[in-house]
Amino acid sequence: MRSAELTTKLRDMSSTPAASHRIGIVLFDDVEELDAVGPWEVLAHWTGTFAQDGYTVTCLSPNGQAVTAAKGLVIGAHAALEDTPMLDVLLHPGGLGTRRLLRDPAYLDWIRAQRRSVTLMTSVCTGALVYAAAGLLHDRPATTHWSAVNELRALDPTVRIAEHQRWVDDGDIVTSAGVSAGIDMALHLVDRLAGRDRAREVRRGIQYDPNPPI
């Protein structure tokens, strides 16, 4: 399923406010803080301010407990992976903790199980490495943090890496580059799921207007 067809399906699902469609953000020890919190800010502002769009967002961790992120921030979760409700969108951040996940067969099986039921799989930064290890990116375009391009290529040489793109939308899988790129990708998701005007309202609401000072 590619972008136009999938976008129509997701917008149709969100047209009934009573039906809440779920977005899940995965958390784990040594997750890169902004990989998770940046998209959370975008998606939580959207879903909280515009509940009529019919989406909610929640954070998931392996045991439902708080995780300690890469730079020491402790981040709470709403549910354990085993209690994950049926999701419409899954967002997988990156960070040093992904390297451990790459070697965890049970975790990769969980990712594959989500792939079978989740309409839209997304990643930030080295979250793409986890997707590649689970076989989700085979012969597909994707991106990741610039420093992890060779790791992604080694995990699956068939991945068509777009290393200079902020995000890559391949229909039912969307990957983004490193750290702050997750904010841009999350706004893109709002655009896809609720329309350009809504995405602009969210961007204004969080006062996100990139203009690097250096």
133 within some domain: yes
211 within some domain: no
Q: Phi and psi at residue 149, in whole multiples of 5°?
A: -60, -45
- pLDDT reported for residue 69: 98
Distance CA 161, CA 155 (A): 12
pTM over 0.85? The answer is yes
- pLDDT reported for residue 13: 43
Structural domain of residue 174, as residue ranges? 3-205
Distance CA 10, CA 122 (A): 14
199 within some domain: yes
- pLDDT reported for residue 7: 47
Measuring CA to CA, which residue among 95, 88, 135 is closest to residue 111? 135
- pLDDT reported for residue 95: 98
Total domains in the fold of the chain: 1
- CATH number, domain with residue 90: 3.40.50.880
- pLDDT reported for residue 202: 98
123 within some domain: yes
169 within some domain: yes
162 within some domain: yes
pLDDT means over runs of 10, the chain (214 residues): 50 50 98 98 98 97 97 98 95 98 97 97 98 98 98 98 97 98 98 98 97 87
Kindly report the length of the chain: 214
- pLDDT reported for residue 4: 55
163 within some domain: yes
Catalytic residue numbers, as ranges: 125
- pLDDT reported for residue 15: 44
Distance CA 110, CA 81 (A): 8
214 within some domain: no
